Amino acid sequence: MNNNWSWETFMDALPFVLQGLWITVSLTITCYLFALLFGFVWTFLRKVPNTFFNWVVTWIMEFIRSTPPLVQLFFLFYAWPMMPGIGVTLSPFTSAVLGLGIHFSTYIGEIYRSGIESIDKGQWEASKALNFSTVDKWRKIILPQAIPPTIPMLGNYFIIMFKEVPLASTIGVAGIMLMADSYGAQNWSYLEPLTIVGILFLVLSYPSAVLIKKLEIKMNTRFDKNAAIK
Amino acid sequence: MNAIIEIFPQLARGLQVTITVLLASAILAYLMAFIAGLCRLSQSFFIRKFTGFYVEVFRGTSLIVQLFWLYYAIPMLFGIQLGSNWWAGVIAIGLNYGAYLSEVVRGSILSVANGQSEAATALNMSRFQRMRLVIFPQAVRMMLPEFGNYTIQMLKGTSLVSLIGMTDILYYGDIIRSSNLSQAPIVYLLVLVFYFILALPLIWLTRKGERISKKGVANG
């Protein structure tokens, strides 16, 4: 076992770990798009005007949200094929997209909801008074006001998701984390490959965090409620 | 039904590890949150930048990376043995969520209305008194819901310690699954239920915190 930092190992591990970068990035994007779409399902289900149904949906969301995504991944990957009747074997990539996507869609659904609920009551009344159709009401009045303020929050979830994606290495998605792990196992030096993964995460997530911060400031000035009243 | 009765006590053996890791890492995270949150508001440029570096590093990389790094790399790099994987797990989760929570602490202190600080200055309070008597009590109320949310996140994060060989709930779940494949669905469902039961008091406390935080903070 080597005990010291060695640049030689670092340079050796770098191309090996980088092989996984594309999978990590594409998994992040796929999971994120899936979560964005599936978030609508929760928002829609929460809108159903039935108290009992609402209660059930709320607790299902709470269940998904407060249990570990790692266990949910294991459930989909190891347990789903064993489900009597409905079980199908899922590839590691699909399991990861479904598991992380559904996990984060519960958060994203709440963001949509808060966006829609932040629309002033008068806007709903006005669109009704002006005899807007349901489609027009959503398309022309509600959504243009509800979506922009949620964009920074949704952006944050992209970064959060990027940082959760290495969990998929545990079920065999060959992203940077699995690459680092297998390099470590082969050469018995985890230090350099794991450090590379850490640096990659910093290099990719810090600039995007700064970008989202800027976006947030821009959105806040554009959609400042007080400014609108003035 | 028989399977549940059989599996339940086996999973419960991991409960102790999950709970002790959660408690210890939560204490560490809260401690780091207040230290780092207050340091980032310090007047000293050096202290601000240094804690800023800590926060960005731990928020910018993933928890699983930090966990593996602490477990595999730290002993190699510095020859320090963290004692056991228990410490590696607690330190990783504590420092990671401490970094997130320090932003909550900082944000809450900054969001206490300016007039409060001005009024305290007008009353001739020192900087320390201002913070201790006026700003801090109001800021802490605002932090409560976020602290609850992040504690639930920490509970979820503790499932990762099974990856470095700790015998928590998930670890026992994996063992049962590998010896009896057809029981996999019921095993993982029970593991999820275990975590959910552990999360329930935290969910309740978070909702309570939300109610408290709405009261007793000066507006405007």
- For residue range A133-174, list pLDDT tens digits in order: 888 888 888 888 888 888 888 988 999 999 999 999 999 898
- For residue range A21-65, list pLDDT tens digits in order: 999 999 999 999 999 999 999 998 988 888 999 999 999 999 999
Question: Residue A6 — φ and ψ, nearest 5°?
Answer: -130, 125
Query: Distance between CA atoms of B142 and B153, rounded to whole angstroms?
Result: 18
Q: For B83, left (φ over 0), alpha (ψ -120 to 50), or beta?
A: left
What pLDDT, on the 0 to 100 scale, is given for residue A55? 93
Sign of the CA dihedral with B25 first, then B30, B35, and B38 last: positive
Question: In B, what residues contact A, Cβ < 8 A?
Answer: 56-57, 59-66, 68-69, 72-73, 76-77, 79, 152, 155-160, 163, 170, 173-174, 177, 181-185, 187-189, 191-192, 195-196, 199, 202-203
Mutate to test the interface with B, among A82, A160, A176 (most CBs of B within 10 A): A82
Percent pLDDT > 90 in chain B is 51
Percent pLDDT > 70 in chain A is 95
What pLDDT, on the 0 to 100 scale, is given for residue A223? 59
Q: Is A210 on the interface with B (CB under 8 A)?
A: no
- pLDDT > 80? residue B148: yes
- For residue range B99-111, list pLDDT tens digits in order: 999 999 999 999 8
- For residue range A169-206, list pLDDT tens digits in order: 999 898 899 999 898 888 888 888 889 999 999 998 88
Q: In chain A, how long is the greatest CA-to-CA distance?
A: 76
What pLDDT, on the 0 to 100 scale, is given for residue A16? 87
What helix, strand, coil percent values describe chain B, rounded to 5?
Answer: 85, 0, 15
**Contact by Cβ (8 Å): B183, B7:** yes
Query: Distance between CA atoms of A99 and A164, rounded to whole angstroms?
Result: 11
Q: Which tokens in the block code for residue A182? A: 């297998």
Residues of A within 8 A of B104 (CB-CB) are none
The owner of tokens 């963290």 is B82
Q: How confident is the model at residue A228 (pLDDT cuts 50, 70, 90)?
A: very low
- For residue range A73-92, list pLDDT tens digits in order: 999 999 888 887 777 888 99
What pLDDT, on the 0 to 100 scale, is given for residue B123? 92
Q: How far is A139 from chain B (nearest CA, A)?
A: 33
Distances (CA, A) of A228 to A122, A167, B117: 14, 44, 29
Q: How confident is the model at residue B38 (pLDDT cuts 50, 70, 90)?
A: very high
Sequence-distant (6+) residues with CB within 8 A of A207 are: none
Q: Report helix, strand or coil for B22.
A: helix
Residue of B nearest to A204 (CA): B60
* pTM score: 0.88
Q: How confident is the model at residue B147 (pLDDT cuts 50, 70, 90)?
A: very high
Residues of B within 8 A of A1 (CB-CB) are 76
> Are A75 and B188 within 8 A, CB to CB?
yes
Q: Which of A143, A147, A142, A150 lies closest to A212, judged by CA?
A: A150
- For residue range B149-196, list pLDDT tens digits in order: 999 999 999 999 999 888 999 999 999 888 888 888 889 999 999 999
Sequence-distant (6+) residues with CB within 8 A of A90 are: A76, A77, A80, A81, A98
For the complex shown, is ipTM > 0.90? no
What pLDDT, on the 0 to 100 scale, is given for residue B72? 83
